[in-house]
A and B are shown apart, each in its own frame.
Chain A
Amino acid sequence: MNPALIPEFDRLKARFPADFGSSLVLPCLRRIQEDRGWIAEEDIAGLAAYLGVPRIQIEEVLSFYTQYRRSPVGRWHLEVCRNVSCSMRGSERLLGHLCKKLGVKEGGSTPDGRFTLKTAECLGSCGTAPVMVVNDVYHENMSPEKVDELLGRLD
């Protein structure tokens, strides 16, 4: 685990009530992932030691919540919502267009490591469907044309 994060974690811990040590698992993992891009084995061991929680707790959490990744993703992590309102506004076509354009299957990454394409469940943005998330930022009211334009802007 990146030792530079410890002072940040100490400050975060201080904001919680005293006996809330276990609560830090989720926010610390989020921060570690922001920092490294994914969660590595040494992060699990390091965080378990820092928080004094059993490492199985961290492993359980990592496998339960969909936002954590235990391996790297492409430079641009694309997630297309596949739930009801987005499907009703063309997200299936959007996904098909992306698969074809990037030459990947859903869940896959381009060989050059630039793009990883996944699906997501409802993102709470149904009014601006179809919605795509790119590196945690919502891109709303998407269409195949807008996707092409967006991809063109990404390096």
Chain B
Amino acid sequence: MSIPLVYVVWRAVDVPLSDITAVLMRPRVQELTLNTLGLSLAVALTALVMGVVIAALLSRVRFRGASSLLLISALPLAVPSYLASYGWLVAFPGLNGFLPSWLLLTAVTVPYVTLPVAAALRGTSAEGEAVARTLGLGPLRAFVDVTWPQVRPAAVAGALLVFLYTLSDFGLVAMLRFETLTWGIQQSFAASFDRSQAAILALLLVVIALVVVAAERSARGQVVTSRAKLATREPVGPLSRTLALLVVLAPPLVGVVAPLAGLAARLFQAETLRDIDLSRLGLATAATIGVSVLAALVALAIALPLAALAARYSGRWVGALETLGYLPHALPGIVVGLSLVFFSLAVLPPLYQTATILVFAYAVLFMPKALGTARSSIEGVSPDLVNVARTLGARPLNAWARVTLPLALPGLGIGALLVAIATMKELPATLLLRPTGVNTLATELWSRTSAGEFAGAAPYAAILVLVAAIPAMILSGVRRTAKEEL
């Protein structure tokens, strides 16, 4: 789990201190750092606001087909960021810079906030808000003063994931030509073959991530377990409802519909349409599903003990471990991939370029996605229940397995699904570590687009979004049943 970090430090340590400072002092590096910070903060903030607003709208406004709206709002998760930017570039080739990067990244990451906040809202009692209303507060004030503090931990945790995602994203910003630290890292590898310089920049990313993760832990607040009572839905005029609908649908439109439309347009533009090799498509799909399921399980296995510790104890060591778990998420895929090349060749050469090390890489990369939900779902189990189990004769581990685990399972399932989706979309580490000859949908998509075969790429893109959409939709559904059962 700390392998990428060890690797980055190892490579950076090779460099004399004077060189490190020289690199860091370079105005371009400072420019890249500012770009990275600016974009990540901007995206995290907008995703936070939008996510909370959408979740609130979905739970408080009476929509027709409300459950399918939640499903749809989860769809942007299924679209890889590079696909989103690619699709938009088809329609607007001149698109570049900060603004499009900001908007597109927000569109594809909003669900990271929406889904947990929607789940948290279902678990909160609307009574407090109702009381506040009788005391004279308007609906907005009531929400902000009463309900927001209860959903804050979920919202902030989601925003953290968005921040780390943006920090490490390469595909989208490269295509939109917005130069960030990940771009700098890529340049160091590609243009200068300078791995030490790349390591220094990666270290910068880690430092930024460290600061933000620490900040999130203090902003987290307490998880409140309360009896869920159904919230009253506000009656809302048709104009407001339409407006609300537009807000809810905005991210899926921008992040899913538009890029896919762009890709479809490409399909029709091409004069040469290669025959779709169905067996190849099938194999890639099977491989994609296979690794993502395994990665989800492994990530969960790693996250579970960590989350269990973090939920019960708040000592410094546990906090440090949790933070450590988040950091690799800030690194771009190529760095994580290379770190595992280094690691597996050093420690377990026979495992190099096997499915095992690939699944392990995914687990390392995406475990943080499972960590947050795992922790909060374990925290959500009342300690009274475990205490009762112990007085009934169950030893601590036994009580944990028979009581805490089954009750936390829906939340753990959510974490696993998030990891699965991220794995399906992953590209750079996959290219480095996959067994030679094995392809996932993402690598097939990449090899076609980089060879200019857009027509051939389209079916892979479509299947990729389709396959990733399945866990995304389960995600919005599972949360619903989970909360209602509890």
- A interacts with B: no
